[in-house]
């Protein structure tokens, strides 16, 4: 008899839905995982929800265990924490993180799961993919002792970057966002907060994560001569105007992209993707990251909740999905 699990499917331009999906038998080098929590990566997943993945990026945007194709219907997601209920002895019973969509149970190769350290609660471990993005960004950015740094955009990724930058000695780190409520988040992460018009300039480095033209323009304005913006925003199918006049040339400014799909060149010869993810999970032993989980719902409610997240009716950094 074929067993079944349940999974959330995006169905743009309409609402998503929970569907039954077949659950295959486990092979000798595979594990069966029962999901405890998944996380909604709001920026990317709301883009998928509205069908905004550009055709040129359909292959590059595929999640590791995605079913279906863009624009949809598609089973998409990559922040999943569960328990191995059937698998090799060294993994059986372990709590694991997997780059898997929102689904109640699944079978994957044993090599696709990463054990969650004992010091990291399962409900916090859903942030591993986001912290991994932040780790890669800082490998790209290479901040130095005493640098003046701004993170423009206090969303999920921006806050994770700010949390890691707070560990750099003697650095001045400022989280910049249009929402005054992000001041509480910044304080919990151990960094300064400023509204865009009040942000400190003269920065050696600005990490931009707001996915807005205004945010990118402000990021460039905050740089000291020969400073650099590291661009983490994903704009999807939107065209963005970049202000390359004014001080861009006279100050010899730079804009550089960072993307998590590959290990940053500075570490690529010495770190594999698996090493980077394991590091992200170790960093999540810090309870300060709990401030990034700002909402929660049951898996069965995800179709209605995803619509609210996409419209902004439900404000959130990371929204946690709970599986009963």
Mean predicted lDDT score pLDDT of the chain: 94
Residue with tokens 């300064």: 192
Whether the per-residue pLDDT at 14 is higher than 80: the answer is no
Say if residue 73 is preceded by a cis peptide, omega within 30 of 0: yes
Task: Work out the pLDDT band at 44, boundaries 50, 70, 90.
Answer: confident
By DSSP bridging, strand 3-9 and strand 17-23 are antiparallel
Strand partners, 82: 35, 96
Mean pLDDT along residues 41-66:
87
Dihedral (Cα; 251, 175, 257, 254), 10-degree rounding: 0
Query: How far is CA 109 from each of CA 5, 6, 27, 132, 225, rounded to the nearest angstrom?
Result: 17, 19, 8, 21, 49
Mean pLDDT along residues 102-118:
98
Lowest mean pLDDT among 72-86, 149-163, 301-315: 301-315
Q: Nearest 5 degrees, angle CA 214-CA 175-CA 49?
A: 60
Q: Which residues of 211-220 are buried (b: 16+ CB within 10 A; e: fewer)?
A: bbeebbbbbb
Domain locations along the chain:
3-127+284-322, 130-257
Task: Work out the pLDDT band at 41, boundaries 50, 70, 90.
Answer: confident
Whether the per-residue pLDDT at 31 is higher than 90: the answer is yes
User: 3-class secondary structure for 160-227?
Assistant: HHHHHHCCCCCCEEEEECCCCCHHHHHHHHCCEEECHHHCCCCEEEEEECCCCHHHHHHHHHCEEEEE
Query: How far is CA 196 from each of CA 193, 240, 270, rounded to the nearest angstrom?
Result: 10, 19, 38
Tell me: the pLDDT tens digits for 130-170? 999 999 999 999 999 999 999 999 999 999 999 999 999 98
CATH number of the structural domain 130-257 = 3.40.50.720
Strand partners, 74: 10, 68
**pLDDT at position 291, please?**
96
Q: Alpha-carbon distance 216 to 220, whole Å?
A: 6
* Class in CATH terms, 3-127+284-322: alpha beta
Mean pLDDT along residues 215-235:
95
Whether the per-residue pLDDT at 1 is higher than 70: the answer is no
Query: How far is CA 72 from each of CA 22, 63, 75, 177, rounded to the nearest angstrom?
Result: 19, 13, 8, 32
Query: How far is CA 239 from each of CA 55, 206, 207, 213, 249, rounded to the nearest angstrom?
Result: 14, 21, 20, 9, 22
Q: Alpha-carbon distance 65 to 95, whole Å?
A: 19
């Amino acid at each position: 008899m074929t067993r079944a699990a349940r999974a959330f499917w995006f169905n743009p331009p309409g609402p998503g839905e929970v569907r039954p999906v077949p659950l295959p038998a486990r092979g000798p080098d595979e594990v069966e995982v029962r999901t405890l929590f998944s996380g909604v990566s709001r920026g990317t997943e709301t883009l998928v929800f509205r069908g905004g993945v550009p055709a040129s990026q359909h292959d590059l945007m595929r999640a590791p265990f995605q079913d279906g194709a863009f624009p949809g219907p598609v089973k998409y997601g990559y922040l999943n924490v569960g328990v191995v209920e059937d698998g090799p002895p060294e993994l059986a019973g372990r709590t694991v993180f997997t780059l898997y969509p929102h689904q109640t149970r699944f079978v994957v190769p044993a090599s696709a799961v990463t054990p969650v350290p004992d010091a990291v609660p399962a409900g916090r471990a859903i942030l591993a993919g986001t912290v991994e993005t932040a780790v890669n960004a800082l490998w790209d950015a290479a901040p130095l002792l005493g640098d003046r740094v701004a993170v423009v955009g206090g969303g999920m990724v921006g806050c994770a970057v700010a949390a890691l930058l707070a560990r750099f000695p003697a650095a001045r780190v400022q989280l910049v966002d249009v929402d005054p409520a992000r001041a509480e988040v910044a304080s919990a992460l151990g960094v300064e907060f400023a509204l865009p018009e009040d942000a400190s300039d003269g920065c050696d480095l600005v990490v931009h994560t707001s996915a807005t033209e205004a945010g990118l323009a402000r990021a460039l304005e905050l740089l000291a001569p020969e400073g650099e913006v590291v661009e983490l925003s994903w704009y999807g199918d939107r065209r963005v105007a970049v202000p390359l006049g004014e001080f861009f040339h006279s100050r010899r400014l730079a804009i550089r992209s960072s993307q998590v799909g590959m290990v940053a060149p500075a570490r690529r010869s010495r770190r594999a993707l698996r090493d980077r993810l394991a590091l992200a999970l170790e960093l999540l032993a810090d309870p300060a990251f709990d401030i990034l989980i700002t909402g929660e719902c049951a898996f069965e409610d995800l179709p209605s909740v995803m619509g609210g997240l996409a419209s902004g009716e439900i404000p959130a950094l990371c929204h946690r999905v709970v599986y009963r």
